[in-house]
Structure 1
Amino acid sequence: IFSLKACKLDFSFVYLFVFFGLMKLVCILQSSHRKFKDRKQKLQNIRKKLAELRLKLLQVKLGRLKARVQRVHVDGISRTKDDIVIGSVRDVFTAADFQTVILRIHEARMRLENLGCFKNVGVLIDTYSGDGAYDDGIEVTFEVKEVNLLGAKINTNVGNNEGSITSGGMLRNIFGRGEELSTEYSYGTKRTSSFHTTFRKPFHNEAATELSTSIYQQASEAPWSGYKELDRGVLLSLAFATAPSIEQKLILDGAWRHLSCLSRSTAFAVREQSGHSLKSALRHELSLDKRDELVFPTDGIAFNMKNEFAGLGGDVGFFKNELNFQLNLPLVNEMVVQGSVQAGHMLPLRNNKTHCIIDRFILGGPTSVRGFEMGGVGPHSDNHALGAEMYWAAGLHFYCPLPLLGRGGSFSDKFRLHSFVNIGNIGDFDLTDNYKRNLENLFKDMRLSYGAGLAMSLGGFARVELNYCIPLILQRYDRPYNGIQFGVSTNFL
């Protein structure tokens, strides 16, 4: 017996020796890899400085070379109107030296590409030899190729923890100023589907204004609440930019909605809201995005706000406000800390207007407060989420690259290690003029979860997360999710 215990003890020492040896090896490899990355970064900085010096020398030489544009020719136009083409290339004539000429030509080329009328824009620069030619006269030719009148597309989209495939056809540059008439059909992995026909009219001004109108039909299912929804409506939208990073939309939406039960087990509290409703709403959306990257930003902020008034017509009426805010701060060694806040408030109208479960907020899920099922936070009836008129949620996240793998366009750039803490609350809170009492109500019975996992960039516009989640604070009617949780979306808390 003594020898057997000694043998077990010896094996435990062997295990410890091997473990510490492996840890030492990992530390050595990490140190060597860090030194290699530092040398590589220094070399890249030297090359970058040399390139900047060469560019400055070239700019000095080009700036001393006098040049003026005397003639601009755009070759390849058949359907596109002259007024928007002239407005795009007019600034080329203001250049007084060769460097400015190159910059103005590049800007004009970008404007032509953004008209939505051309699929290819080339540039030829030559000396001008026509009547009244100067010694420094230049002739610029833009060789364009217009988009085909008929077009088709098929692509995939990701959002709200669901993937979908979209196909459709379009008529492009219909009246010669970038107009487009398109018809699309999409079908999702969770049995959502939509069909819409949209006409877009761009105005090609400094605010990038675009007017669009759409006829649509959209069907979706909400198994967390036990209902399915079918909407048919007409939408009128005006989009414009008030600053380089600020975009706004004014939307007028009229919809005929049909709410029905998803199965026989749908809760009575949801079942009694089934039926038809008419909604006419005016919505304003504002978005500000100054992040350096969409999926894994290392710096910058993002802000989105939606304000909606329903009750212009029909039997649905409410005021609804929702906002999202995200802040990213870089740390050492490409590590990033991220803070995010979401909040929403709905105020029903006190007249003969009404609202139902599809107008209310839900909280919880792999893209919201992690560690809970979809819609798993808040009041439930027979395991079906009922939603609420107010919610708030916040998250603190930590991202870092995978260890022992290089960066700089490699496969590992698509992955990050991720840890998080999420908090939030939802309910029909009764707010008064007593701000202290309001804060107590908002934070009372709040939920908290934490966890860690792996995040992956999907196509540079969406993110996939695989996290091990632990709900720490919850209420008796919540539906927690303790374990590995999978999420995919373009927007996460």
Structure 2
Amino acid sequence: MGTVHAKVPEDTARNVGDFAKKTGLADSTKENQAKEIDLEKVKARVDRVNVDGLGRTKNDIVEDCIKDLFKAKDFQEVLLKAHKARVKLDELGCFKNIGVYIDTNKAANATADGLEVTFDVKEHKRVTGGVSTHVGNNEGTLTVSMKAPNLCGRGERVQIDYSHGSKKTSNFNLSFLKPFRGTHRPILTTSIFNSNSEWPNSGYKLLERGILLDLGLYSSPLLKHNFQWEASLRDLTTLTRAASFSVREQCGASMKSSLKHILGVDLRDDLIFPSAGSLVQLTSELAGLGGDVGFLKNEVLFQDNYSLFGDVVLQACFTAGYLSRLSNDKRITIADNCYLGGPLSVRGFETRGIGPHSDGDALGSSAYWAAGLHIFTPLPFRPGQGTFGDLFRTHLFVNTGNVGDFNLEQISKGDLIEILKTNVRMSYGIGVALRLGNMARLEVNYCFPYKFDKGDQTHPGIQFGIGVQFL
């Protein structure tokens, strides 16, 4: 949102030349002679910063976002710090458009290498809303939202959302968000939610009502933390009369109170079709600080991308999770277990199709691991190159993984490796992936389940997947 511009005076050709000489971006070389410029060697400093378009937004929260600009010592630093300042202003949620313009300082007492940076902002209306559609987790969702941004002039926001999914899921969420000043860019979010979801592969539906507190901050420019506390009342019921006894015996009301920490580092150059960079996400959840549900759940997700040659990209993925009981006084329900299989994880299997089943219902387990190796290439013969054809990729993949009840405290390292190698599932296939804007992608794959267990639910042939995060 917004663009960084280096603005040159346009009065006359002499002014253009003066600007180039003043900033060191050109010298008196021969006409038409090309010269490579090292921006780190171009001395520059920011003398003035202007912010045009402020109305309700308070000065102190804006000053905190742009103050690092005055520390720049060369032209490259000015560009980088101007971009970072724009990102910080965008994170406040006060503005719907932010433009950045860099010009020479025209003041009478200006220094030879002095610059003037102008941020042209446009604030959100006091109340906004709309209807939108989203895709994710192999489901389409219609969302109606209304929000009141920048309530008190420092980025505070109240937002109401209601969504209804194609798989009969529905969610209501009322939240208040407050950004704070500081190097770590902390943001506090409080939410009241009501969530209703159905899981036909496991034969149950779940109604959750509760509150959520989330504190997000950056311990470094790229390392993000989310500290969450959630308290919810849950009602688990059977989806149909044909639900298995293993599902029926877990039905009923429960109360969950949990602390969660999410640590993420995303160095990818693109969210949908990255060609380079890595993603690491670690999630730890401790439930049992109140209520009758208690467990410790740790999950890890890793993705790395390599550009082999041209537009051919090799992608490697790995994910794993482990769920352990805290005490016999606390329960773990089928909604808390680990699951594997489906178009977003191990392809070639039904959703939650890997692991223990009872009368066709997936029960889940205490641990899982899965890995994937992918090759993404442009379509053969490059139809529509430079236009619509660039939204598509040819996709070749191999997926493998396992899910089961592993007790890490009672087995040695050697036994663990042997258990992880036992009953490994594997599939491979080929397909086409389509970018859906910058929010999701659609995969149509022809899958070949290669190794599977007797109780697994496989899905050979064509399989559709739509979502944001794939294995």
TM-score normalized by the length of structure 2: 0.85
User: Which residue, out of 186, 192, 195, partners 1:209?
Assistant: 186
Q: Going by fraction, where is helix more abundant, 1 or 2?
A: 1
Matched residue, 1:331:
308
1:478 equivalent in alignment to 2:452 = no
Which is worse superposed, 206-215 or 425-434? 425-434
1:363 equivalent in alignment to 2:340 = yes
**In 2: Cα distance, 1:340 partner to 1:152 partner:** 37
Structure of larger gyration radius: 1
User: Conserved in 1, the CA contact under 8 Å of 2:40 and 2:75?
Assistant: no
**In 1: Cα distance, 2:190 partner to 2:377 partner:** 43
What is the DSSP-based 3-state SS (H/G/I as helix, E as strand, rest coil) of the residue aligned with 1:359?
coil
Matched residue, 2:93:
116
1:251–1:102 distance in 2 versus 1, CA, 3 Å:
closer
User: Which residue, out of 140, 165, 180, partners 1:163?
Assistant: 140
User: Conserved in 2, the CA contact under 8 Å of 1:172 and 1:181?
Assistant: yes
Q: Report the identity percentage.
A: 46
Deviation at 1:407, TM superposition (A): 7.7
Matched residue, 2:202:
225
Matched residue, 2:422:
444
Matched residue, 2:106:
127
What is the DSSP-based 3-state SS (H/G/I as helix, E as strand, rest coil) of the residue aligned with 1:358?
coil
**In 2: Cα distance, 1:350 partner to 1:52 partner:** 76
User: Which residue, out of 357, 364, 378, partners 1:401?
Assistant: 378
Deviation string, structure 1 residues 147-202 (Cα, Å, up to 9, x no partner): 21111133222221111121111111111111111000111111111000111111
Alignment of 1:157-306 (within 5 A): 157-306=134-283
1:52–1:472 distance in 2 versus 1, CA, 3 Å:
farther
Matched residue, 1:56:
37
Amino acid at match of 2:141: S
User: Conserved in 1, the CA contact under 8 Å of 2:212 and 2:229?
Assistant: yes
Deviation at 1:86, TM superposition (A): 2.8
**In 2: Cα distance, 1:475 partner to 1:110 partner:** 49
User: Which residue, out of 294, 298, 304, partners 1:317?
Assistant: 294
**In 2: Cα distance, 1:98 partner to 1:335 partner:** 35
Deviation string, structure 1 residues 308-335 (Cα, Å, up to 9, x no partner): 0000000000000111111222223422
1:463–1:112 distance in 2 versus 1, CA, 3 Å:
closer
**In 1: Cα distance, 2:152 partner to 2:212 partner:** 22
**In 2: Cα distance, 1:344 partner to 1:175 partner:** 42
User: Conserved in 2, the CA contact under 8 Å of 1:163 and 1:188?
Assistant: yes
Which is worse superposed, 348-357 or 327-336? 327-336
1:231–1:105 distance in 2 versus 1, CA, 3 Å:
closer
Matched residue, 2:439:
461
What is the DSSP-based 3-state SS (H/G/I as helix, E as strand, rest coil) of the residue aligned with 2:389?
helix
Matched residue, 1:87:
64
Alignment of 1:379-418 (within 5 A): 379-405=356-382, 409-418=386-395
Amino acid at match of 1:442: L
What is the DSSP-based 3-state SS (H/G/I as helix, E as strand, rest coil) of the residue aligned with 2:254?
strand
- How many residue pairs get matched? 436
**In 1: Cα distance, 2:421 partner to 2:382 partner:** 42
Amino acid at match of 1:345: Y
**In 2: Cα distance, 1:333 partner to 1:75 partner:** 43
Which ranges in structure 2 are unaligned for 5 or more consecutive residues?
1-31
Which is worse superposed, 141-150 or 96-105? 96-105
**In 1: Cα distance, 2:58 partner to 2:450 partner:** 63
User: Conserved in 1, the CA contact under 8 Å of 2:234 and 2:254?
Assistant: yes
What is the DSSP-based 3-state SS (H/G/I as helix, E as strand, rest coil) of the residue aligned with 1:441?
helix
User: Which residue, out of 289, 300, 318, partners 1:341?
Assistant: 318
Which is worse superposed, 277-286 or 450-459? 450-459
User: Which residue, out of 458, 462, 467, partners 1:489?
Assistant: 467
1:139–1:346 distance in 2 versus 1, CA, 3 Å:
closer
Deviation at 1:365, TM superposition (A): 0.8
Alignment of 1:137-156 (within 5 A): 142-156=119-133
Amino acid at match of 2:219: T
1:267–1:173 distance in 2 versus 1, CA, 3 Å:
same
**In 2: Cα distance, 1:277 partner to 1:120 partner:** 45
Deviation string, structure 1 residues 96-136 (Cα, Å, up to 9, x no partner): 8888777766665554444322334455866335xxx4576
User: Conserved in 2, the CA contact under 8 Å of 1:340 and 1:394?
Assistant: yes
1:52–1:303 distance in 2 versus 1, CA, 3 Å:
farther
User: Conserved in 1, the CA contact under 8 Å of 2:40 and 2:77?
Assistant: no
**In 1: Cα distance, 2:207 partner to 2:357 partner:** 23
User: Conserved in 1, the CA contact under 8 Å of 2:64 and 2:181?
Assistant: no
Matched residue, 1:4:
none
RMSD between aligned alpha carbons?
Answer: 2.8
Deviation at 1:490, TM superposition (A): 0.8
User: Conserved in 1, the CA contact under 8 Å of 2:212 and 2:228?
Assistant: yes
Deviation at 1:84, TM superposition (A): 1.7
User: Conserved in 1, the CA contact under 8 Å of 2:395 and 2:431?
Assistant: yes
Which ranges in structure 1 are unaligned for 5 or more consecutive residues?
1-50
